[in-house]
């Protein structure tokens, strides 16, 4: 049962590589994603067992991933209709196959209860994503893919080393064999593990998966990859991949914390995470103000949010972890919606080719289509921690926890958030309400804008009127992983 959502897309990918015109591929992709979404919901009933069995965290983010994949695939249909001429049919097939591979690999990583499988999943997702980035075949796209490949490859290598070190550190507790690679076993035996080895392992894990999560200074690949690849796959669908990496970091951090809490020799994980988190927030805060390309711009903001989440994990404690997880969920919803809206907006300016996402080109969307303009504006506003944006709740929790547990780092965090918020909001004016480029005529907005509105509504609802079950689920996870 649990294997279905993982391997259905991966197997279907093979078929998609050889079959179908672009539009058919897109539709098939959407249908598949729909089934996968249903399956991710079904998994709640039978979490499976053994190598692949999903815990609460995996289930939650699995469902989220399924949802994002579905909406992205739906928006992707409009995208393909608009941009069909831009890629050769075989490349389109490859592209849709890659969408499914990324989806399957991400789910595998989320559901796997084995650090080795997790690593393999991340590697697969990375390679697929690299391929996808290189698809447009333009010089800049190839260059972006090359960067992605080199940096991602190094990251994967480091992650593998860390994984092996964790295994090694678990020897005193669990001895050789699969047990020493299973999260559940590890976290229950963390106390008896070799603390110093575990710390060393955590550093490598942090750098390995931190590269996937694009924490500064490991972020080098992300902006270009976002900006150059075929939009839906490399932007909207990559949110779940960031989540996967962050969740991996969270799990390993928990091992370290548990070992240290029970008198082990491990160092506290806080300082490492706080350093990278703050570095991310600050660098983004300064980098955002000079961006002229929308996708690159919001790529940077993804880096910022990874940084915030890492920071929250670094603060530690159930509440902060809760805030971090909530932040991941909300930011994934908003960001994916935002990119869908961005593609739609670029469509309104009748060009969905990469490179046409420059702010100068998208100015004054509201003049092209009022609804689209407001939705896009709402999505951008949703990225900053000002109410009624949902992120206000998570950032409020995180900052309050920071003040209570580690007051001195709250000052730089506040400053960094201030920089990022202002840098994002100062683009809303020109982008949404500004004076449009000449010969801009009002047009009909695609139906994908409704998807974006759905995303935003979900984000706000989850933040300020969280249903009891989800609340219980999240707080249990946070309590277990503190």
Total residues contacting other proteins by CB under 8 A comes to: 108
Q: Which of 18, 85, 263, 465 is the binder for other proteins (CB under 8 A)?
A: 465
Considering the complex, state which of residue 292 and residue 444 has its C-beta at the smaller distance from other proteins: 292
Report the nearest approach of other proteins to the CB of residue 190 (Å).
16
* Cα 398 to Cα 85: distance, rounded to the nearest angstrom: 46
* Cα 44 to Cα 63: distance, rounded to the nearest angstrom: 9
Residue 479 contacts residue 318 (beta carbons within 8 Å): yes
392 binding other proteins? (CB under 8 A): yes
Q: Enumerate residues 325-354 that contact other proteins by CB under 8 A.
A: 326
451 binding other proteins? (CB under 8 A): no
Report the nearest approach of other proteins to the CB of residue 275 (Å).
8
Report the nearest approach of other proteins to the CB of residue 284 (Å).
8
Q: Enumerate residues 296-325 that contact other proteins by CB under 8 A.
A: 296, 322
Q: Enumerate residues 11-70 that contact other proteins by CB under 8 A.
A: none
Residue 269 contacts residue 131 (beta carbons within 8 Å): no
Nearest-CA neighbor of 307 among 326, 280, 331? 280
368 binding other proteins? (CB under 8 A): no
Report the nearest approach of other proteins to the CB of residue 224 (Å).
8
Report the nearest approach of other proteins to the CB of residue 268 (Å).
10
Query: What are the helix (H) ranges across 383-464?
Result: 391-405, 407-425, 428, 448-464
Interface region with other proteins, contact rule CB under 8 A, candidates 29-37, 57-65, 245-253, 461-469? 461-469
209 binding other proteins? (CB under 8 A): no
Report the nearest approach of other proteins to the CB of residue 73 (Å).
26
* Cα 145 to Cα 52: distance, rounded to the nearest angstrom: 31
Residue 216 contacts residue 276 (beta carbons within 8 Å): yes
Q: Enumerate residues 250-289 that contact other proteins by CB under 8 A.
A: 265, 267, 272, 282-283, 285-287, 289
Q: Enumerate residues 147-186 that contact other proteins by CB under 8 A.
A: 147, 149-151, 153-158, 160-161, 164-165, 167-169, 171-172, 175-178, 181
430: which 2 tokens?
Answer: 């020109």
Beta-strand ranges (E) seen in 3-84 are 48-49, 52-53
123 binding other proteins? (CB under 8 A): yes
399 binding other proteins? (CB under 8 A): yes
Q: Enumerate residues 183-202 that contact other proteins by CB under 8 A.
A: 194, 196-197, 199-200
Interface region with other proteins, contact rule CB under 8 A, candidates 13-21, 28-36, 452-460, 462-470? 462-470
Interface region with other proteins, contact rule CB under 8 A, candidates 94-102, 217-225, 336-344, 440-448? 217-225
Q: Which residues of 366-394 are buried (b: 16+ CB within 10 A; e: fewer)?
A: bbbbeebbebbbbbbbbbbbeeebbbbbb
88 binding other proteins? (CB under 8 A): no
Q: Which of 56, 430, 440, 480 is the binder for other proteins (CB under 8 A)?
A: 430
Task: State whether the Cα torsion 170-172-174-176 is positive or negative.
Answer: positive
Interface region with other proteins, contact rule CB under 8 A, candidates 69-77, 102-110, 301-309, 467-475? 467-475
Report the nearest approach of other proteins to the CB of residue 21 (Å).
25
From first CA to last CA, the distance across the chain in angstroms is 30
Residue 70 contacts residue 340 (beta carbons within 8 Å): no
Q: Which of 50, 89, 90, 388 is the binder for other proteins (CB under 8 A)?
A: 388
Considering the complex, state which of residue 247 and residue 397 has its C-beta at the smaller distance from other proteins: 397
Report the nearest approach of other proteins to the CB of residue 267 (Å).
6
Nearest-CA neighbor of 65 among 230, 246, 227? 246
> 217 preceded by cis ω (within 30°)?
yes
243 binding other proteins? (CB under 8 A): no
363 binding other proteins? (CB under 8 A): no
**Cα separation values, 387 from 156, 390, 395, 428, Å:** 38, 7, 11, 16
Considering the complex, state which of residue 289 and residue 482 has its C-beta at the smaller distance from other proteins: 289
* Cα 298 to Cα 305: distance, rounded to the nearest angstrom: 10
Considering the complex, state which of residue 29 and residue 219 has its C-beta at the smaller distance from other proteins: 219
* Cα 400 to Cα 403: distance, rounded to the nearest angstrom: 5
Interface region with other proteins, contact rule CB under 8 A, candidates 5-13, 60-68, 79-87, 396-404? 396-404
Residue 321 contacts residue 53 (beta carbons within 8 Å): no
Residue 215 contacts residue 152 (beta carbons within 8 Å): no
Nearest-CA neighbor of 433 among 355, 356, 357, 381? 381
* Cα 226 to Cα 292: distance, rounded to the nearest angstrom: 14
């Amino acid at each position: 049962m649990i294997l279905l959502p993982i391997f259905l897309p991966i197997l279907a990918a093979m078929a998609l590589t050889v079959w179908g015109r672009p539009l058919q591929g897109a539709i098939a992709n959407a249908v598949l994603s729909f089934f996968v979404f249903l399956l991710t919901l079904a998994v709640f009933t039978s979490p499976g067992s053994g190598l692949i069995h999903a815990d609460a965290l995996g289930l939650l983010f699995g469902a989220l991933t399924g949802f994002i994949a579905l909406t992205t695939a739906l928006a992707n249909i409009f995208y393909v209709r608009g941009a069909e001429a831009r890629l050769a049919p075989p490349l389109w097939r490859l592209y849709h196959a890659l969408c499914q591979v990324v989806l399957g690999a991400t789910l595998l990583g989320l559901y796997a209860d084995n650090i080795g499988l997790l690593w393999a999943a991340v590697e697969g997702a990375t390679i697929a994503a690299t391929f996808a980035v290189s698809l447009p075949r333009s010089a800049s796209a190839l260059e972006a893919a090359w960067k992605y490949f080199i940096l991602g490859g190094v990251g994967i290598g480091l992650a593998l080393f860390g994984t092996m070190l964790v295994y090694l550190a678990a020897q005193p507790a669990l001895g050789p064999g699969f047990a020493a690679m299973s999260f559940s076993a590890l976290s229950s035996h963390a106390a008896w593990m070799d603390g110093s080895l575990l710390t060393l392992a955590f550093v490598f894990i942090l750098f390995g998966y931190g590269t996937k999560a694009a924490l500064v200074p490991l972020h080098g690949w992300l902006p270009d990859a976002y900006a150059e690849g075929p939009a839906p796959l490399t932007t909207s669908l990559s949110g779940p991949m960031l989540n996967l990496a962050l969740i991996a970091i969270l799990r390993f951090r928990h091992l370290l914390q548990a070992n240290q809490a029970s008198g082990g020799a491990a160092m506290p994980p806080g300082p490492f995470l706080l350093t990278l988190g703050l570095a991310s927030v600050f660098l983004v805060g300064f980098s955002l103000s000079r961006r002229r390309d929308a996708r690159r711009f919001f790529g940077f903001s993804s880096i910022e949010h990874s940084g915030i989440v890492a920071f929250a994990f670094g603060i530690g404690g159930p509440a902060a972890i809760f805030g971090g997880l909530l932040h991941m969920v909300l930011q994934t919803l908003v960001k994916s919606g935002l990119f869908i809206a961005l593609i739609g907006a670029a469509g309104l300016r009748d060009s969905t080719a990469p490179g046409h996402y420059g702010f100068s080109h998208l100015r004054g969307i509201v003049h092209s289509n009022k609804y689209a303009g407001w939705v896009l504006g709402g999505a951008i506003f949703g990225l900053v921690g000002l109410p009624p944006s949902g992120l206000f709740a998570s950032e409020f929790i995180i900052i309050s926890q920071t003040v209570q547990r580690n007051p001195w780092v709250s000052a730089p965090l506040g400053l960094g958030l201030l920089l990022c918020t202002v840098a994002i909001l100062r683009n809303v004016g020109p982008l949404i309400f500004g004076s449009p480029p000449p010969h801009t005529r009002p047009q009909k907005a695609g139906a994908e804008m409704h998807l974006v509105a759905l995303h935003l509504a979900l984000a706000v609802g989850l933040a300020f009127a969280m249903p009891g079950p989800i609340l219980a689920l999240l707080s249990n996870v946070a309590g277990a992983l503190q």
